[in-house]
Every structure is written in C-alpha cells, then in structure tokens.
Amino acid sequence: MTVKAKLQQLVLQYLRGAQDDEANGSMFARPPDLSAEAFAIEIASRLEAAPRAWKFRIPVLRDSEEWLGTDVGGRRRLALRKEGTGTMLVSDVEAHTLLGARIRAEQLGLAWIGCAFSLDLVDLYFDDSQRFSPASVVIESAEWDLTGEYLDVVDRSVLRLPQISRSDLDAHVLKGGDQVRAVSRHTGLLRLVMCGESQECSHLQSAARLVAMAATTIDFGKSISLAFSVVEGLLLDGQESSVQRISEAVAHGLGRSVGNRRELRKAVKSMYESRSVFVHTGSVQERSTNRQDAIGLAAAVLSREIGLLPLTVDRSPA
C-alpha cells in the first residue's frame, strides 16, 4: 500500500468514526456536497502536499516603545509593528490549513513573549488586576478574537527597560539617553533565538512558551510544574531526571558563589517537592515566595541558554 493510499484509508476511518469538524479552517471540515470517499482522497492529497505560507499578525505586548526596534530579521521575516498602543508580531508561517497557521502564529507569539521576559525586556503578571482589553489574531484576511492561554499571557505582558548594573557600560549609555543602544545586547539575543532555525533555537522557543504560561497562570500548581519542566528540559538534555542532578546543574550553571549555589540547591529542592505534591494530588499549598522563585529560576536558566547560542545562527535580514 502506498503512503497516499494509507493516508486515504486513515482519513476515511476518521470521517466514518467522528462528526465533521466545524472549526473554521480545519482540513477535516467536509463540504456537504462531497462524499466521504472523495473527501478522503482530497485530504490525503493535502497532507501529501507541501504546506503553504500564511501571513499573520498577532499582539505580543499591550504597549510599545521605540527602543524595542521594529525589524526582527531572519529568514522568517519576523517584524514588530506598533498598532494602536500595542505591539504586533508580523510574519508568515507554513501550515496546511488556516487553523494550523493560527496555532503556529500563537506558538511564535508565546515564544517571543517568553524569551523577552527571560531577557528582562518584558514584565508578566499573574494578577487579574493587571488585565487589559481583548485582542485578536489576523491570518491573511481572517480574524479571530484571542482566547485561552494566549490571551492570558498577552493580556499581562508589559515592556520594561532591563535592569542594568551601574558599573556596566550600558548604564552609561542609558544615562546618556541612548535607550536603543543601551538595550541592544538584550534585543540582540532576542533576535538571535527567534530568528534561528536550528533545533537548539526551536528547543529554546518551546521552553520560552512554557515560561510565559508559568509566569501568567493563577494556578500555583500549574505555574510551578511548567517552570520546573523548563529547568528540567533545558539542563538535563534527555538524561534521567532527579532532584540531585537538577539542583547540581542549576547550582553550577547559575551560581556566583558558594553561598549562592547553596541557596539555588535549596530552591530547586523546594520546587521539586511542590511539583511532586501537585502531580500526585492535584493541588499544592503556595508558600510566600515559591512562585516568584520558580518562575525566576526558569527564566534565568532560559536566559543563560539563549546567551550560549552560537553567533553563527542565521540573523540575516529579510
């Protein structure tokens, strides 16, 4: 049986066993005048064909500042555009369907927000009092109101100038009023990870999405589980997970002194215990600084890994 014939068979089984998907843009939404057999052949052809490019724009911030810049660059042709008072991420994605394009656009938006947060360019809040107004995503000429996790994240994302040490050269540049140059190291790393097409950049973007969701969800158990997954995934690199292995990786990767490494080990063990309680019971009691410690640790690990990216990652302008 050929691959295409097998695809036809699988699609036909799906159509016979489930109701038509009414979701706008789904490749499984069968026209009423098309038989299941004919539609199975059409779907198999779509799946076999290469995905097409879809242009999109999606909000990533509720505010906008000139120092952030506009062109992100890279082969993906990512760009930032001011729209109203907010900031939109504009580019194109490859997908077979409109629905697939929307999902991929939201993934890129979450990755951008999570990376910007980890690089100290964005503040994220989990407090409902910080919420703004609804927003929408545009794919080609289609437009949807944002809902769910993406809206929860973008609704709480606000730009901030990164904290720069007084002894840092960038602090003198910032004092002189050149904000663009002062934050160029941070924005340069953001471009580096978002424009890279390597497996490593893709891995970091996936971690950034989890960081963004961890920082904005009100559910403490979910927040600490997502944050711990980031630390675990970035530092263990497929090795068997254990609290000892993770705590040592964090301590030696982020620690600046013997005392600081000791505190980091304690923070990891506390995160591990809270995550374990949540996974096994479905709930966990939040202690005073647990949430901030977990999110801060995940963001710090992600920021460190972004900083270790080779400068050879493709950042050529469109």
The residue segments making up the domain with residue 35 are 3-48
| Residue 134 pLDDT exceeds 50 | yes
In terms of domains, do 263 and 282 share one? yes
- Over residues 224-248, the mean pLDDT reads 83
The pLDDT score that the predictor gives to residue 111 is 95
CB atoms within 10 A of CB 127: 9
Average pLDDT, the chain: 79
Residue with tokens 């505010």: 63
**Interval 267-286: pLDDT, tens:** 888 888 888 888 778 777 77
In terms of domains, do 185 and 240 share one? no
Total tally of structural domains belonging to the chain? 3
Q: In this structure, is residue 210 part of a structural domain?
A: no
Q: Bigger pLDDT: 209 or 19?
A: 209
The pLDDT score that the predictor gives to residue 36 is 64
Largest CA distance in the chain: 72
Q: Bigger pLDDT: 119 or 70?
A: 119
Residue 59 exposed, middle or buried by CB count within 10 Å (0-12, 13-18, 19+): buried
Phi, psi for 112 (deg, rounded to 5) = -60, -45
Q: In this structure, is residue 315 part of a structural domain?
A: no
Bridge partners for 95 per DSSP: 52
- Over residues 141-163, the mean pLDDT reads 85
Here the tokens at position 67 are 């120092």
Report the distance separating Cα 73 and Cα 313, nearest Å.
12
In terms of domains, do 232 and 186 share one? no
Question: What angle is formed at CA 116 by the lines to CA 198 and CA 189, rounded to 5 degrees?
Answer: 50
CB atoms within 10 A of CB 13: 11
**Interval 28-87: pLDDT, tens:** 555 555 666 676 676 667 666 778 889 999 999 888 887 776 665 555 678 888 888 889
In terms of domains, do 257 and 187 share one? no
- Over residues 12-30, the mean pLDDT reads 51
Residue with tokens 């953001």: 190
Residue 295 exposed, middle or buried by CB count within 10 Å (0-12, 13-18, 19+): buried
Confidence of residue 2 (pLDDT cuts 50, 70, 90): low
In terms of domains, do 145 and 271 share one? no
In terms of domains, do 131 and 160 share one? yes
Q: In this structure, is residue 59 part of a structural domain?
A: yes
